[in-house]
Amino acid sequence: MDPRLKVILYGNPDEELSLLMRLEKEKDYPDHCKIISEFGEIVSIQTQRRYLCSIYNSKKVKSLKAPSVIPANDDVEPNPETRVLDKKNEVLSDTVSNVVFGIIDFGFDFSHPDFINNGKTRFEKIWVQSDRYDGNEFGYGRIISQAQINEALLDEFPFKKLGYHPGKSDLFGNGTHGTHVLGIACGNGAVAPQSFAPNASIIAVDMGTNYVNGSNLSLGDSVKGCDGLYFITKQAGERPLVINMSLGGHGDHHFGLTLFEQVIDYIVTHRKGTAIVQSTGNYHQANAHTYGDIKLNQKVKIPWMFKKHDRTPNEMEIWYDGDDILSVNIYDDNQKILLSSTPFKDELIVKDDDQVGICLHRCKEPNTGKNQINILVNGKLNSKFWTIELIGRTVNNGRYHCYIERDDGGQSIFLPAIVNKTHTTNSICNSKYSIVVGAYNQNDDAKPILSFSSSGPTADGRMKPELVAPGFKIKSSCSSSSRENRASNKLTSKSGSSMAAPYVASLVMKILEKEPNLDIISIRKKLFSACDTASFKDNKLEIFRAGHGYINPNRIT
């Protein structure tokens, strides 16, 4: 059973759970499931906890997953440069692009001039997933229509009128992630620099801010993300569509076979004129990944270091070959053994007679065939570091990968001496057909890849990211702060792969405006052929961060 599923197994039997499910056969559902969104064999469902085990054990189910948190890829800008223009640029256009832009993020300032043409909003819909339920088909959140937004824009207090403030979590006026990303992808040039898709209609999913592990950038989860993709594709109808997701964490297997990633591939391969663009992540220097090869009876020690006075939960995932068997010993900073595990047995981690965590060990996860160890530590931890010791009981392959999950409120790390910076792409960007983008410094003639921009390859050796785009101090639309009643002519700068991805998404929209029926293979080929080759004589590993190279908009044909 999925480790996260085990965590939610017990509780109120009447509580409704949201899950992702992969069926053995399309349209052949187990009992007691309410289907919410559907992508071939993969569906999101709602069910009561009392039915969880029967659904899991059904012969109709190949894989059942609990929600996993999907945070925004944090922008890496310690001192954002925010300013207000005295006068906005004139934007007069009645043209509406034939391509729709979809975005899953948080904080969309519909009152910003960059998303208003001739006094009318360019948003077709905004689904605020964390808002009060309005009776929509998904069973949660509120869907805001274009007519409601246009009515609110006429009001002196549009956020109050609409009941949606995009910057409610922005106390310091630095601007929300979603508005900044949106401005790069399809801003009309009224305030921020004009994008390559200034007339695209917008369908947005605001996943909301859930204060998880000390971070107000932790958004929704994998189930809500799939529902968001379903919502966007349904609203777009048969029109060409580009979706941007600058989201993801550290963990999971990096084979591109999470159910969320399989949904991404399903959408772009079953829908013509469609692409999904993702940021690679900002985790190259996170010290959150290591890997190696273990031999029979060998013991490998992995030091896991915690922040002082950390009271947030911490999580490590270990993935290894399905034909191998490893056991785990866990030692505290005094070399006292906390756990001596039995392979494929779930066991509590106890320190000084107090339960401080759990070790979950799964045999042959059904989507990858890999074995999986999850070590979950609660907020009672009072240690500087632990030592995780892997022991090779049966070894045919030997390769293992370890990831520490993202924790913005108290990030734990591996001992730097054992860190490996490859294979650090974000947790949901490793699918076969998504377009994944890293970031470089466009202000430097040498065009260095930014130090934080994550590295490939995927765990099965594929190229991710596939290209790099400008990501350093990018000026774009700035949303209203929590103290403001509507947007001013404000822009701000942010750095990160989150800024590089929408730049590429904008170019893909430009491609589809001229060739709306391209399939995803042709879109990728056209995009990658427009890259300037990167050369790294001093560090050949940099190619794993550059992919096909630097996107050159002048080479788009």
- Tokens of residue 520, six digits: 């995803």
What integer is the mean pLDDT of 373-385? 88
Cα–Cα dist 54/58, whole Å: 6
Q: Decide if domain 289-418 falls under CATH 2.60.120.1290.
A: yes
What integer is the mean pLDDT of 73-77? 69
Residue positions annotated with a catalytic role: 105, 177, 498
Query: Residue 430 pLDDT > 50, yes or no?
Result: yes
CB 328 within 8 A of CB 376: no
- Tokens of residue 19, six digits: 């899950």
Strand bridging mode 142-145 / 325-331 = unpaired
Summarised one tens digit per residue, pLDDT across range 114-155 is 999 999 999 999 999 999 999 999 999 999 999 999 999 999
Cα–Cα dist 109/180, whole Å: 9
- Tokens of residue 449, six digits: 């890849």
Q: For residue 89, what pLDDT is reported? A: 84
Query: Residue 214 pLDDT > 50, yes or no?
Result: no
Cα–Cα dist 217/105, whole Å: 10
Cα Rg, the chain, nearest whole Å:
23
Torsion of CA 168, 170, 175, 176, to 10 degrees: -60
Q: Element (H or E) spanning 291, and its range?
A: strand 289-293
Q: For residue 41, what pLDDT is reported? A: 98
Query: Residue 216 pLDDT > 60, yes or no?
Result: no
Q: For residue 210, what pLDDT is reported? A: 53
3-state secondary structure 369-437: CCEEEEEEECCCCCCCEEEEEEEEEECCCCEEEEEECCCCCCCCEECHHHCCCCCCCCCCCCCCCCEEE
pLDDT range class, residue 380, cuts 50, 70, 90? confident
Domain boundaries, the chain: 3-66, 95-284+431-555, 289-418
Q: Decide if domain 95-284+431-555 falls under CATH 3.30.1540.10.
A: no
pTM (two decimals): 0.95
Summarised one tens digit per residue, pLDDT across range 274-299 is 999 999 999 999 999 999 999 999 99
Cα–Cα dist 210/217, whole Å: 7
Summarised one tens digit per residue, pLDDT across range 176-203 is 999 999 999 999 999 999 999 999 999 9
The top-level CATH class assigned to 3-66 is: alpha beta
Cα–Cα dist 441/461, whole Å: 26
The CB-side HSE value for 543 (13 A sphere, CA atoms) comes to 9
Which string of DSSP letters, residue by residue, matches 194-254? P-S-TT-EEEEEE-----BTTBTTEEEEHHHHHHHHHHHHHHHTTS-EEEEE-B--S-S-S
Query: Residue 492 pLDDT > 70, yes or no?
Result: yes
pLDDT range class, residue 78, cuts 50, 70, 90? low
Summarised one tens digit per residue, pLDDT across range 309-346 is 888 899 999 999 999 999 999 999 999 999 999 999 99
Residues 247-266: b if buried by 16+ CB within 10 A, e if exposed: bbbbbbbbbbbbbbbbbbbb
Tell me, yes or no, if the two domains 95-284+431-555 and 289-418 fold the same way.
no
Mean pLDDT score across all residues of the chain = 94
